[in-house]
A and B are shown apart, each in its own frame.
Chain A
């Protein structure tokens, strides 16, 4: 059995589904961040797959576009993780919790 685009996309979709489920369902900020990382990586996987199988879509000119995107996404994800974790640590110091439902000072 050859592993073709559909398999990659299925894995990517499942990964995204798991990620968004975690991001939406968890109350813990760290867990939500982890879910977001999963979603980002699911997207990365799709990018790479499309790049790898670009011949199937007759996109000939720039097969490396997907790779470039992935590099950017990784960079942004790293930066986002750093900032978000720093915020979480600071909030934890102050409030002794990272429960998103209780971080509601700015809520209406």
Chain B
């Protein structure tokens, strides 16, 4: 600990600085002074996230000084409604300290990169306002002390991702992708909301730490805890793009590339991993099958997405499937009690995945396409992008001694200890990861230049020779390359473990990681095997890609069709079941029951009105006649019944 204990106001500033940036840009963009200009938006965003980054350093420092244990900031009452007491507060411990550091660091570099990347776009101020909101929502999510506060920010992350994925909303695929991302994650969010309601109705608690404490103390029944953790896990499946709700993430590539970098590295998809980690004590206290489910869902997703990554031709989609696969890795780690391993992998992954996306954006900037078949030979034209991309790929592939090696190794170790089949899955995925990353490198940067330009250009300008990107784009690449190399060393002495495990109760801590030589060997063999295979097929051409394809029979076609999962989701579930059966049934009920009742009611009112309309014709003499008739009737009634009727 270098500085004193962080005051609560500074922790709040981490969250409020980007919020302020969002509000200010949104307000200024409509004023006459700033209309049509764009530089100010980038500067405000960078300044705000810079402030948040500095504040997060202090917060992280304090968290380290406190051994990762939660710093006691009392929650503030926000609203009280009968027995529902909604509090807001900041929860700072080793886990959230690391998370705010990762989010602000990656976001800051992405914003700097965006200034160059988005230059000349008409919606720059809207872009930076949304980016500020996105970052703010993620920081708010990470720092939340109350489940409800977390849920609100969880939804805000969804909203901001919708705005950013659909940033170029005049392109139909982008608009569709934004909608898909929003609706698919909503399936998970719904279960999450049910979990919030369930835990509140059964325990009356919304405070995260209190829920975890009660769960660990055995104060929550097994059934309730099962429902609660399942709901949370469903939310995580949606946000973190796990099977079967992973289908939104590859489509989300329609957004600007820096947005993808942010979504994949620091915000959005890691929110699900963070959610499970935040409630890890509850997950451990729940019946063991829950964590098994988490582990196998993650492992299956990792394997599925890695295989899909091998057949993509769009460089961003390779990275998208890689993210799904790596997030699956983290989820799998959580399922095999690898709390530290998962967060450590999240930490290292954030840097090299952001670097990869920014590299892909840089390539697009130079060539005007994301199609790797139209690239090639770029390593001569853009050395910075090439070398940083290679470093990030080596790190992702898990090559010693880069960051990804250490975190992947911890996950494999935990899988070996607790769930042997998942170790096999993890090792396989490691090899496939190396294969698809180096396939991408050989297709993009080696061989002959294929001309670039395609229908997916994110920039309106005409491209000639490929060129290195401007300094504001190259600089973040270089900076990110540093943690992509060294981030793995932070846990060599168990420092990272100690920090993050401070968020857990004592009995759940495992202490510093061990290193098993055998596992290191397996992991390295898989990594170099994957790289070697990629080099043989996509560089040397012995055997050529076509030969390999022919040998594998129908398998490549199944994979290229995404295992028909998109078909199942879109045609079978959406078009046939939802649009076909359910919509048809709903339509019948609507037409013949609800509409019929409403129509009949309206018609009867209309008929009554039609009848009574004739009375109100506007003739005074007509009214008087009715009045006279009324008097006559009254007189007759009185005459028949006697004057007694008047005395009621």
B618 touches A100 (CB 8 A): no
Instruction: Knowing A20-B628, A24-B628 are in contact, say whether A108-B618 is a contact too (CB < 8 A).
Output: yes
- Asked if B35 is an interface residue, CB under 8 A from chain A, the answer is no
- Asked if A98 is an interface residue, CB under 8 A from chain B, the answer is no
User: When the two chains form the complex, which single residue of B621, B625, B628 contacts A100, counting CB atoms closer than 8 Å?
Assistant: B621
Q: Give the residue name and chain of the A residue nearest to B622 (CB).
A: A24
- Asked if A93 is an interface residue, CB under 8 A from chain B, the answer is no
Mask for A18-34, Cβ within 8 A of B = 1, else 0? 00100111000000100
Mask for A27-48, Cβ within 8 A of B = 1, else 0? 0000010000000000000000
Whole-angstrom distance between the Cβ of A95 and the nearest chain B Cβ:
17
- Asked if A107 is an interface residue, CB under 8 A from chain B, the answer is yes
Q: Which residues of B contact A24 (CB under 8 A)?
A: 621, 624-625, 628
Given the complex of chains A and B, what is the CA–CA distance between A108 and B618 in angstroms?
Answer: 7
Q: Which residues of B593-623 have CB atoms within 8 Å of chain A's CB atoms? A: 618-621
Q: Give the residue name and chain of the A residue nearest to B624 (CB).
A: A24
B628 touches A101 (CB 8 A): no
Q: Which residues of A58-108 have CB atoms within 8 Å of chain B's CB atoms? A: 100-101, 104, 107-108
Q: Which residues of A contact B618 (CB under 8 A)?
A: 104, 107-108
Number of A-B pairs, beta carbon distance below 8 Å: 15
Given the complex of chains A and B, what is the CA–CA distance between A104 and B628 in angstroms?
Answer: 23
Whole-angstrom distance between the Cβ of A33 and the nearest chain B Cβ:
13
Given the complex of chains A and B, what is the CA–CA distance between A20 and B619 in angstroms?
Answer: 15
Given the complex of chains A and B, what is the CA–CA distance between A14 and B625 in angstroms?
Answer: 17
Mask for B618-637, Cβ within 8 A of A = 1, else 0? 11110011001000000000
Whole-angstrom distance between the Cβ of B44 and the nearest chain A Cβ:
60
The binding surface of chain A is classed by DSSP as helix
What size tier do the contact residues of chain A reach?
10 to 19
Q: Which residues of B contact A100 (CB under 8 A)?
A: 620-621
Q: Give the residue name and chain of the A residue nearest to B616 (CB).
A: A108
Whole-angstrom distance between the Cβ of B630 and the nearest chain A Cβ:
13
A101 touches B624 (CB 8 A): no
Given the complex of chains A and B, what is the CA–CA distance between A25 and B625 in angstroms?
Answer: 9
Q: Give the residue name and chain of the A residue nearest to B619 (CB).
A: A101
Given the complex of chains A and B, what is the CA–CA distance between A49 and B526 in angstroms?
Answer: 124
Q: Which residues of B contact A25 (CB under 8 A)?
A: 621
Q: Which residues of A contact B620 (CB under 8 A)?
A: 100
Q: Which residues of B contact A107 (CB under 8 A)?
A: 618
B619 touches A23 (CB 8 A): no
Whole-angstrom distance between the Cβ of B636 and the nearest chain A Cβ:
14
Q: Give the residue name and chain of the A residue nearest to B621 (CB).
A: A24
Q: Which residues of B contact A23 (CB under 8 A)?
A: 621, 624
Given the complex of chains A and B, what is the CA–CA distance between A25 and B620 in angstroms?
Answer: 11
Instruction: For the complex of A and B, list the 5 residue pairs with the smallest distance between their C-beta atoms, beginning with the closest.
Output: A107-B618, A24-B621, A24-B625, A24-B624, A108-B618
Interface residues in chain B, defined as those with a beta carbon under 8 Å from any beta carbon in chain A: 618-621, 624-625, 628
Interface residues in chain A, defined as those with a beta carbon under 8 Å from any beta carbon in chain B: 20, 23-25, 32, 100-101, 104, 107-108
15 contacts between A and B (CB under 8 A): A20-B628, A23-B621, A23-B624, A24-B621, A24-B624, A24-B625, A24-B628, A25-B621, A32-B621, A100-B620, A100-B621, A101-B619, A104-B618, A107-B618, A108-B618
Given contacts A23-B621, A23-B624, 11 further A-B contacts (CB under 8 A): A20-B628, A24-B624, A24-B625, A24-B628, A25-B621, A32-B621, A100-B621, A101-B619, A104-B618, A107-B618, A108-B618
